[in-house]
Amino acid sequence: MSDPVFTAKDLTKTYVSGESQVHALRGVNLEISAGEVVVLLGPSGSGKSTLLNIMGGLDHASSGELFFKDLRLTGLDDRGLTSYRRRHVGFVFQFYNLIPSLTAYENVALVTEIADDPMRPEEALALVGLEPRMHHFPAQLSGGEQQRVAIARAIAKRPEVLLCDEPTGALDSRTGVRVIDALMKVNAELGTTTVIITHNAIIQEVAHRVLFFSDGQISKAITNEARRAVAELQW
């Protein structure tokens, strides 16, 4: 495998919640390689979202180090993190987070306008199979379509990493499969390193690697020797 995209060393995160301390991450060590698809599984509060947030530059670690390639994310201030997100990271949210006042095309253009080397919005939408509906507003799209627009928006700037937090959480099975399909297609065609949080254990079968979280630590890691095709997924 190629050089790691993410390298985490003894990463911890402690929240102060009222009078008690919550240890969300208790020393995570991890490497994720370029082009890898990693699924994070684990119960609520096990630390997977916290890790994703820190990797995405949305949150700060309490201690330890996290590198994006050579960039030490744990040393960046807010401005630095914003610029890191802007250049390198694509996000896909559980609830799509599209801007209702912008069409599918314009939601994608929102990101391409501030990116250094973006693809054209219609290209990104074509990747997720939504070119025919690109001039529709979110209100005119189904949930699955909205999520695919969100994916198009996330990948349009050709990010090196795509971070997805429960991307199928709000979708039914058939639609969920189409969304996963879109993610895999992007990974295959662009080589985008993709990290997916899910509660849906079935999705793990399409990943290169599955990390199980419990109590703020990676309790188990499985590498899939043979990934399943998306078409075979069903839940």
Partner 1 sequence: MRALDIKLLRDLVRLWAQALAIALVVGGGVATLLLAVGSYRSLDETRTAYYERYRFADVFATVRRAPKALLGRIAEIPGVAAVDARIAQFALLETPGLTAPATGVVISLPEIGEPKLNRLYMRAGRTPDPSRDDEVVVNETFAEAHRFTLGSSFAATLNGRRRDLTIVGIALSPEYIYAVGPGDIMPDGHRFGVIWMSERAVASAYDLEDAFSSVSLKLLPGTSEREVMMRLDSLLDRYGGHAAYGRKDQTSHAWLDHELDMLNNMSRTLPPIFLLVSAFLVNLTLSRLVSLEREQIGLVKALGYHNAGIVLHYLKFVGVITAAGIVIGSVIGTWLGSYVTGIFADFFRFPFLLFTKSSDLYVAAAGLSAFAAAIGALRGLREVVNLAPAVAMQPPAPPVFRRTLPLSLSAAGLVSQPMRMMLRNVANHPVRSFLTAFGMSLATAILIVSLFTKGTMEQLVDVTYFLADRQDATVSFFEKRPREVAFQIARLPGVLNAEPYREVQVRIRNGHVERRIMIRARPRGAELNRIIDADLRPVVLPESGLAISDMLAKILKVRVGDTVEVDLLDSERRTVSLPVAALVEDYLGMRGMMDEEALARLLREAPMANGVSVSLDKTRQDEFYAAVKAMPVVSSLALQTASLATFRDAVALLVTTMSSIYTGLAAVIAFGVVYNNARVSLSERARELASLRVLGFTRGEVLGILLFELALLTLIAQPPGWALGYALAWIMKTNLAGELMRVRLVVEPATYVFASAIVITAAVLSALIVRRRVNQLDLVAVLKTRD
Using only C-alpha atoms, what is the Rg of the chain? 17
Evaluate whether 44 touches 165 at the Cβ level (below 8 Å): no
Residue with tokens 């690109």: 134
22 contacts partner 1 (rule: CB under 8 A): no
Adjacent-strand bridge partners of 91:
163
One residue of 1, 3, 72, 95 binding partner 1 per CB under 8 A: 95
Rounded Cα distance between 109 and 156, Å, is 8
Which C-beta is closer to partner 1: that of 147 or that of 208? 147
Which C-beta is closer to partner 1: that of 100 or that of 234? 100
Q: Which stretch binds partner 1 (CB under 8 A): 68-76, 91-99, 181-189, 222-230?
A: 91-99
One residue of 24, 51, 98, 127 binding partner 1 per CB under 8 A: 98
109 contacts partner 1 (rule: CB under 8 A): yes
Strands (E) located in the chain: 4-17, 20-33, 37-41, 63-68, 71-72, 89-92, 161-165, 193-197, 209-214, 217-223
Evaluate whether 28 touches 66 at the Cβ level (below 8 Å): no
C-alpha distances in angstroms, 200 versus 57, 108, 110, 168? 25, 27, 30, 8
Q: Which stretch binds partner 1 (CB under 8 A): 50-58, 126-134, 174-182, 206-214?
A: 50-58
Binding mask 131-160 for partner 1 (x = CB under 8 A): ------xxxx------------x-------
Rounded Cα distance between 169 and 165, Å, is 9
One residue of 1, 21, 69, 114 binding partner 1 per CB under 8 A: 114
Element spanning 51, H or E? helix 48-55
Binding mask 170-209 for partner 1 (x = CB under 8 A): x---------------------------------------
Binding site for partner 1 (CB under 8 A): 49, 52-53, 56, 58-59, 78-79, 82-83, 85-87, 89, 91, 93-95, 97-103, 106-107, 109-111, 113-114, 137-140, 153, 165, 170
